[in-house]
Amino acid sequence: MPKKASDPASTDVDMTPMIDMTFQLITFFMFVMNFSEAEQDDRIQLPLSQLAKPVDGPVEKPITLQLTNQGKVIYAGELIGLGDVGGYLDREKSVLIDAGREPTGATVIVRADGSSKTGDVQEIIKICQEKGFEKFALRAKYDEGR
Amino acid sequence: MARKRSQLSDKIDINMTPMIDVVFQLMSFFMCTLKIVSPEGDFDIRMPLGRAAGAAVEDQMVPPIRLSLSAAADGSLGGISMNGNPVGDFRELQQKVLSLVGDGRGPGSLAEKTEVELDCGYDLRYENVVKAITAVSGSVQDGQIVELIKKIKFTPPKAPR
């Protein structure tokens, strides 16, 4: 006589491997998650440089201006013309002054597309200078040289 | 006796469903918010308005290097010249800068005192400027960055063609 099978209604699935794997995945995502508010835009293809190694710490109170290859500026996610940059910088300047800081101490990060015109980058720098900013960071993508 | 048997046969069933729900929600959150950030670096430039045109060079002991990058009609690099002398490519430019500033590094060195003034064509593609800045700023030797000139500035923008 064949042995009677155990109760088919209670199938015990061992959940341990799945939970282990899930927790490992969560740990992985927690480690690779980036909470920094780095302004990166897919419309900008930064030029490559072997010397553009990531900075050790975040730039304090940066103002990021991104220049597209069409000569437009992306400021705080908004696409504006070169001529409108001055108005936005005035606003930034007044915020800095209200916070008891000088615009000379603030850094303007210029993320310009590799195909954009150098003259447009210089125009941005000139507008910033006229508004009292004097520290600039020209951003480039790190070229691993492979 | 009957009580002992019942204790042995009792199996504590922990309901895992809420925990698995939460864990999967957490995983979904992390997967959705994951942002791949490519490594980027900065070239720092200090350009007060008064010194933009290279007017106040008197306070410097070392004359600045004037680097001209001309643009071709399509925005590509037309030519490079350093202090008026033509330079073949960015590698040659780096060699010239290296021979000019020497091996000394650190505070008070010639590399630290020297300034490069970039004079670029308006239509020049910006990637060429970054290549030029890379060439004069340093080089990578055995995986280590050897710094050259850190003081870089631009001339005022020229009128577009």
ipTM value for the complex = 0.76
- Taking the C-alpha atoms of residue A108 and residue B129, their distance in angstroms, rounded to an integer, is 18
Q: How far apart are CA B145 and CA B20, in angstroms?
A: 48
B49, closest residue in chain A (CA to CA): A129
Domains of chain B, first to last: 62-154 (3.30.420)
Name the pTM for this structure: 0.76
* Farthest-apart Cα atoms in chain A, separation: 98
Query: Three-state SS for B34?
Result: coil
A119–B52: do the CB atoms touch at under 8 Å?
no
The average confidence (pLDDT) of chain A is 84
Nearest to A114 among B122, B126, B154 (CB): B126
Residues 60-119 of A with CB under 8 A from B: 67, 104, 109, 112-119
Distance CA A12, CA B38 (A): 45
- Report d(CA A105, CA A61) in Å as an integer: 9
Contacts of A131 (CB under 8 A, 6+ apart): A86, A89, A90, A93, A103
Rounded CA separation B120/B70 (Å): 6
Tell whether the model's pLDDT for residue B46 goes beyond 90. no
> Which residues from chain B sit within 8 angstroms of residue A141, using beta carbons?
38-40
pLDDT tens, residue by residue, B17-37: 898 899 999 989 988 888 777
Q: What is the mean pLDDT of chain B?
A: 80
Measured between beta carbons, the chain A residues lying within 8 angstroms of B56 are none
Compute φ and ψ for B25, nearest 5 degrees.
-65, -40
pLDDT for A115 equals 92
Rounded Cα distance, A131 and A103, in Å: 8
Instruction: Give per-residue pLDDT as tens, B51-93.
Output: 544 444 445 567 888 999 998 888 898 899 998 889 888 889 8
| Mean pLDDT of the region A22-26 | 91
Q: Find the helix or strand (DSSP H, E) in which A119 lies.
A: helix A118-130
Q: Is the pLDDT of residue B2 over 60?
A: no
How many A-B residue pairs are in contact by the CB < 8 A criterion?
170
For chain A, positions 36-65, list CB contacts with chain B under 8 A: 36, 38, 40, 46-55, 59
Give the Cβ contact number of residue B51 at 10 Å.
Answer: 16
pLDDT score recorded for residue A12:
75
pLDDT of residue A6: 52
Concatenated DSSP letters of B86-118? EE-SHHHHHHHHHHHH-S--STTSHHHH-EEEE
User: Apex CA A78: angle with CA A89 and CA B161, to 5°?
Assistant: 75
Residue of B102 and B96 predicted with greater confidence: B96
Cα–Cα distance measured from residue B155 to residue A136, given in angstroms and rounded to the nearest whole number? 14
Q: Do B41 and A36 touch (CB under 8 A)?
A: no
DSSP string, A51-94: T-PPPSSPPSS-EEEEE-TTS-EEETTEEE-GGGHHHHHHHHHH
Residues of A in contact with B160 (CB under 8 A): 117, 119
